[in-house]
Amino acid sequence: MGSIREVIWSGVLVLVWLIPKASTQLKEPQVPCFFIFGDSLVDNGNNNRMLTLARANYMPYGIDFPQGATGRFTNGRTYVDALAQLLGFQNYIPPYERTRGRAILMGVNYASGAAGIRDETGNNLGDHTSMNQQVNNFGNTVQEMRRFFRGDANALNGYLSKCIFYSGMGSNDYLNNYFMPTFYTTSSDYTAKAFAAVLLQDYSRQLTQLYELGARKVIVTGVGQIGCIPYQLARYDGNNSRGRCDEKINKAISLFNSGLFKLLQSFNNGKLPGAKFVYLDSYKSTNDLYLNASTYGFEVIDKGCCGVGRNNGQITCLPLQQPCEDRRKYLFWDAFHPTELANILLAKSTFTSLSYTYPINIRQLAML
């Protein structure tokens, strides 16, 4: 690793602890609202009442979160929780399932564990809110917001144009669809290249719908190296070696990521006038975490802090299971999801630097 990167990340590690557990200073946020679309990486409780295995509203999930087990799929804050704090919000963005009235003016989290770009993705786990449904839910929110602007569409659009939108989709379309041939036929219906193209066609339509509903400042994240998560290591890595990541999966998602990057460039180059889309390179950020774990303070990168079986990766945390003692040493909380520290590191780095964001960082996006 180069010395410049060491200096940058040493600074990030120091600043991580300056992000408080709960906002205490009264100040105006940098943007008026924050809307979130995604899967379990950023779900904060939308799945709590669903008939699904993709739920996290029980301990030890939330063991380090002030409100306890809220439905977040980690020990503490998610990436968007940390990002909301960096943007100056005094409270975490609430889940759609329990947010109505004036509270929607601050923003809403529509994310749902097991959700994907395709509607059938995640059906193997039970109920979920797909990206199509999340976009529809945002449409309902916009309808509700109109009454606070007395039906003035220009005023509402002006308000929404200042807000930050985040969309993180695609992981489950591979984990809980394409690479699950016993439940889905997509891997026999499509080559990896063709499947990426189909996903991007659907995702382009969904992101365009968000634009038509008022989104102008949008963060879209690529898929991380899911071939190296504990779940995959438990299935493919008998020696617990990072060198035995499932590169077939990593290569498939790289096709999706490269296509997504080009798609967002086309949006920025005039396809969606007046909008700015920021690509968040989750693949590169997770690769850096793997390769330079000790620099970030991680000692365990191939096992979940909590879980069952090899690498604690065969299933997620069981209710009331005892997790590892020092969560700061673990990159992964369970078989699929990063720990709070990993989420904070990513939030801080994407907020102030250009290491993982293109063409600008999130602070610059907020200032537009």
* Lowest-pLDDT choice from 10-24, 102-116, 315-329: 10-24
- With 90 as the cut, is the pLDDT of residue 151 above it? no
**Per-residue buried b or exposed e for 304-324, using 16+ beta carbons within 10 Å of the residue's own CB:** bbbbbebbbbeebbeeebebb
Residue 32: asked if its preceding bond is cis (omega within 30°), the reply is: no
Active-site residue, selected from the candidate residues 128, 302, 337, 349: 337
What does the block give as tokens for 93?
A: 């963005």
What's the confidence (pLDDT) of residue 17? 42
- d(C-alpha 347, C-alpha 74), whole Å: 15
Superfamily covering domain 3-12+32-367: SGNH hydrolase (3.40.50.1110)
Catalytic: which of 43, 64, 173, 334?
Answer: 334
Rounded average pLDDT over 245-249:
93
Return the amino acid letter for 352. T
Phi-psi region of 339 (alpha: psi -120 to 50; beta: other; left: phi over 0): beta
Residue 52 per-residue DSSP state: B
Q: What is the pLDDT of residues 2-11, one digit of tens each?
A: 444 444 444 4
* Identified catalytic residue from 39, 40, 43, 202: 40
Peptide bond into 66 cis (omega under 30): no
Characterise 240 by phi-psi region: left (phi > 0), alpha (psi -120 to 50), beta (else): left
Tell me the average pLDDT across 289-305. Answer: 92
Is residue 25 scored above 50 in pLDDT? no
Averaged pLDDT of the chain: 91
**Over 90: is that where the pLDDT of 243 sits?**
no
Q: Is 128 a catalytic residue?
A: no
The pLDDT value recorded for residue 290 is 87
Q: Give the pLDDT score at 315.
A: 74
Q: What is the pLDDT of residue 310?
A: 76
pLDDT tier at 308, thresholds 50, 70, 90: confident
pLDDT in tens, 253-273: 999 999 999 999 999 999 999
Q: Catalytic residue at 337?
A: yes
Query: Does residue 78 surpass a pLDDT of 70?
Result: yes
Decide if pLDDT at 367 tops 50: yes
Which residues, listed in sequence order, are joined to residue 220 by a DSSP beta bridge?
A: 167, 279
pLDDT of residue 363: 98
The pTM for the full model equals 0.92
State mean pLDDT over 274-287.
96
pLDDT over threshold 80, residue 16: no
Q: What is the predicted pLDDT for the residue at 313? A: 66
Tokens of 205: 């339509």
Whether 40 is catalytic is yes
Which residue, 185, 56, 190, 210, is CA-closest to 131? 210
Residue spans of the domains in the chain: they are: 3-12+32-367
Q: Tens digits of per-residue pLDDT, 203-217?
A: 999 999 999 999 999
Q: What is the pLDDT of residues 328-337, one digit of tens each?
A: 999 999 999 9
Distance CA 316, CA 308 (A): 7
